[in-house]
Amino acid sequence: MPWQPFPVREFRLIETTGLRKSYRKKTSRRSGDSPTVDAVRGIDLSVAAGEIFGFLGPNGAGKTTTLRMLATLIRPDGGRARIAGADLFADPAEVRRRIGYVAQGGGTTDHVSAREELVLQARLYGAGKAQAVRAAEDALKAFDLTGFGDRPCATYSGGQRRRVDIALGVIHEPRVLFLDEPTVGLDPASRAGVWEEIRRLRTQGMTVVVTTHYLDEADALCDRVAIVDHGEVVAEGTPAALKREISGDVLLLGLEPGEDVAGRAAEALRPQPYLHRLEDSGEEGLRLYVADGAAAIPQVLRALDAAGVTPGTVQLQRPSLDDVFLARTGRSLQQS
Amino acid sequence: MKLARDTWLVFQRQLLLMVRTPVWIAVGIIQPLFYLLLFAPLLKKVLAPEGAGSYADAYQVYVPGLLAVLCIFGGLFTGFSLLGELKAGIIERSRVTPVSRLALLLGRALRETVALLVQAVLITLIALPFGLRVSPPDLLLAYLLLGLLALMTSAISFGIALMVPTDAAMAPVVNTVAQPIALLSGVLLPLTLAPDWLQRAARWNPFYWAVEGMRALFSGHAGDAAVWQGLLVVALMTVLAVSWSARLFSTRVR
């Protein structure tokens, strides 16, 4: 039965060690050797019951591959994983019963309604006919889909469709819900709506794992994040703790347009003793990492003045998750 | 039990989708009509030297071939519908549920089989006033053969859809598979008209055996070796095709 209660003693709902996956690279010529690409190079995770856990990283970092492995869609090459008490390798069928998964693109059929999809989904999870009809009705209410739930899916807006996708993913009341980039392509209001739904699911005791490449999403939504790059976890912790590791403040220095202004400004600032690090963020200007932002501002302006560079704007910022990413990988998440 | 239940669920949904896009049903009925009305008269002339003097004789040869070609090609091209479902994420959404992987394939292939058999019945009915004569038991056996053919070719086609890297690659692959099958099975003209070497080559084509079996049934020779041979070859091929395709449904990543 898919609706069975879950043993309470399973406190760690997801535990993986050394989970990895590589793909054979397609070569156009018959070169004999086919190099492999390591999509995921050994991921260790531990997600507690009731957490909203985020994978943050650029496109191609291996977030989706990891999620699809955990959702039994891809067989990992190696490692170990237990999800909601079931072994991913030994008993993927049991894992399937205990998890829900919502792909980035969703998966609704244009010509049928949300209600019809929900009924079928519940039945695929083993519910009887009457039980499935009831589950669909409850889901329509819980996700506020009643206004359009009997129209064909083709007529839904992006935000409506996303709510349907999530409702489909949890129709069998799974212990763990995996969401792949749940808010990509949504307008700000729908995005806030999706976050609301995710938080609501958590209050019902569900553990939620999301992937995202949005910094604010990881920051605002997730209790804990793993920052992923090139198939590896480069940092893990609560957003607040991760940001605390980046000591001090960030000064964002906007520059007036001109010939090699950024280069000259960087040259003038690098020798300054209060400067920990300096990164060129292109359009945005220069990011200066300093111990005390407020105290550094006049000194920065003076140094620029002496070098004959006119600053456009100076902003004092607390470090963001992007700064964490930058510190660990040497690249900005927004640029990669 | 679970397999039957899951297959029924998938089949039901597929049937619902077909009913909701009636244009395909219309096309499915009109196309075979054209074949019957526009091609058969030509055939009567071609087959005249073979001793086919009347429409009835021509239909006796032509209708079984037409039915076979309908099921072979109808089946082979059904994979295109799967491409849309793959793209929309519907297969992936099914694959995370505990639904049987074989049911994902069988439900779809059976929808196609049923649709093709309905077409086959329609064609048979339309051909009757033109003088087609076939005994009901022979006809039922012929439909069994056709059903297996449709199931097999749909399974192959779904397998191809799961294997091809892009949508654009599907059409050339299917056509490359379909063309020699058609030419070497004598679906439109009987291969008795063909030179020796072509007849020998055709013996390596499993679909040739199917078409031979169909023709024997439609000419009232249910006892011919061609009938059981055709059924056996097609049944074996169906098992192979379905297990190959079902494997892909459970392992392919797309």
Cβ–Cβ below 8 Å for A73 and B95: yes
Q: Assess B220–A contact: CB distance below 8 Å, yes or no.
A: no
Full domain range(s) for residue B38? 2-251
Q: pLDDT of A219-240, one tens digit each?
A: 999 999 999 999 999 999 999 9
What angle in degrees, to the nearest 10, is found between the helix axes of B206-218 and B225-251?
A: 130
Q: Between A27 and B75, name the one with better pLDDT.
A: B75
What pLDDT is recorded for position A33? Answer: 56
Mean pLDDT throughout B143-162? Answer: 95
Q: pLDDT > 90: what percent of chain A? A: 59
The answer on pLDDT for B174 being more than 50 is yes
Dist CA A40 CA A229 (whole Å): 9
What pLDDT is recorded for position A28? Answer: 46
Pair A85, A98: CB distance under 8 Å: yes
Pair A143, A166: CB distance under 8 Å: yes
Dist CA A321 CA A329 (whole Å): 12
Q: Which burial class, exposed, middle or buried, applies to B29 when counting CB atoms under 10 A from its CB (0-12, 13-18, 19+)?
A: middle
Dist CA A152 CA A112 (whole Å): 5
Dist CA A33 CA A48 (whole Å): 42
Mean pLDDT throughout B156-174? Answer: 89
Maximum average pLDDT range among B8-17, B51-60, B206-215: B8-17
Q: pLDDT > 70: what percent of chain B? A: 96
What pLDDT is recorded for position B127? Answer: 86
Strand, coil or helix: what is A195? helix
Phi-psi region of A110 (alpha: psi -120 to 50; beta: other; left: phi over 0): alpha
ipTM of the complex as predicted: 0.87
What are chain A's domains? 12-22+40-243 (3.40.50.300), 247-318 (3.30.70.100)
Dist CA B34 CA B205 (whole Å): 27
Tokens of B238: 């169906």
What are the strands, taking DSSP E only, across chain A?
A: 12-24, 36-48, 52-56, 78-83, 86-87, 99-102, 176-180, 207-212, 224-229, 232-237, 249-255, 275-280, 286-290, 311-317
- Confidence band for B42, pLDDT divided at 50, 70 and 90: confident
Dist CA A308 CA A29 (whole Å): 55
The answer on pLDDT for B152 being more than 80 is yes
The answer on pLDDT for A118 being more than 90 is yes
Strand, coil or helix: what is A113? strand
Mean pLDDT throughout B159-170? Answer: 88
Residue of A nearest to B250 (CA): A73
The answer on pLDDT for A175 being more than 50 is yes
List the beta bridge partners of residue A290: A249, A275
Task: Please name the residues in contact with A183: beta carbons below 8 A apart, sequence gap of 6 or more.
Answer: A162, A190, A191, A194, A195, A212, A214, A217
- Chain A positions in Cβ-Cβ contact with residue B20 (cut-off 8 Å): 111-112
What pLDDT is recorded for position B22? Answer: 84
**Minimal Cβ distance to B17: which of A105, A111, A121:** A111
Mean pLDDT throughout B19-27? Answer: 85
Q: pLDDT of A43-75, one tens digit each?
A: 999 999 999 999 999 988 999 999 999 999 999
What pLDDT is recorded for position A90? Answer: 94
Amino acid in the structure at residue B184: L
Q: Between B175 and A330, name the one with better pLDDT.
A: B175
Q: pLDDT of B94-110, one tens digit each?
A: 999 999 999 999 999 99
What pLDDT is recorded for position A109? Answer: 92
What pLDDT is recorded for position A5? Answer: 46
- In chain B, the number of structural domains is 1
Residue of A nearest to B2 (CA): A126
**Given the structure tokens 């491409």, which residue do they identify?**
B83
What pLDDT is recorded for position A8? Answer: 45
Q: Between A73 and A31, name the one with better pLDDT.
A: A73
- Confidence band for A7, pLDDT divided at 50, 70 and 90: very low
Tokens of A116: 């019809």
Dist CA A274 CA A289 (whole Å): 9
Residue B93 half-sphere exposure toward CB, CA atoms < 13 A: 29
The answer on pLDDT for B13 being more than 50 is yes
CA distance A170 to chain B (A): 11
Strand, coil or helix: what is A314? strand
pTM to 2 decimal places? 0.84
The closest of B236, B77, B66, B49 to B156, measured between CA atoms, is: B77
CA distance B37 to chain A (A): 34
- Confidence band for A31, pLDDT divided at 50, 70 and 90: very low
What pLDDT is recorded for position A3? Answer: 44
Pair A153, A184: CB distance under 8 Å: no
Interface test with B, best of A37, A124, A162 (most B CBs within 10 A): A124
**Given the structure tokens 């089946």, which residue do they identify?**
B75
CA distance A144 to chain B (A): 21
CA-based Rg of chain A, rounded to a whole angstrom?
24
- Confidence band for A92, pLDDT divided at 50, 70 and 90: very high
By residue count, chain B amounts to: 254
**Minimal Cβ distance to A125: which of B13, B92, B97:** B97
Cβ–Cβ below 8 Å for B98 and A111: no
Mean pLDDT throughout A251-271? Answer: 86
Pair B110, B245: CB distance under 8 Å: no
**B202 Cα distance to chain centroid:** 18
- Chain B positions in Cβ-Cβ contact with residue A108 (cut-off 8 Å): 88, 90
Pair A55, A67: CB distance under 8 Å: yes
Pair B213, B190: CB distance under 8 Å: no
- Confidence band for B253, pLDDT divided at 50, 70 and 90: low
**Minimal Cβ distance to B98: which of A75, A106, A125:** A125
List the beta bridge partners of residue A211: A55, A180
Q: Assess B202–A contact: CB distance below 8 Å, yes or no.
A: no
Maximum average pLDDT range among A18-32, A262-276, B103-117, B161-175: B103-117
Average pLDDT of the residues of chain A: 88
What pLDDT is recorded for position B60? Answer: 81
The answer on pLDDT for A6 being more than 70 is no
Strand, coil or helix: what is A8? coil
Pair A81, A87: CB distance under 8 Å: yes
Cα distance from N-terminal residue to C-terminal residue, chain A: 45
List the beta bridge partners of residue A22: A38
Q: Between A215 and B36, name the one with better pLDDT.
A: A215
Dist CA B52 CA B33 (whole Å): 22
CA distance A214 to chain B (A): 23
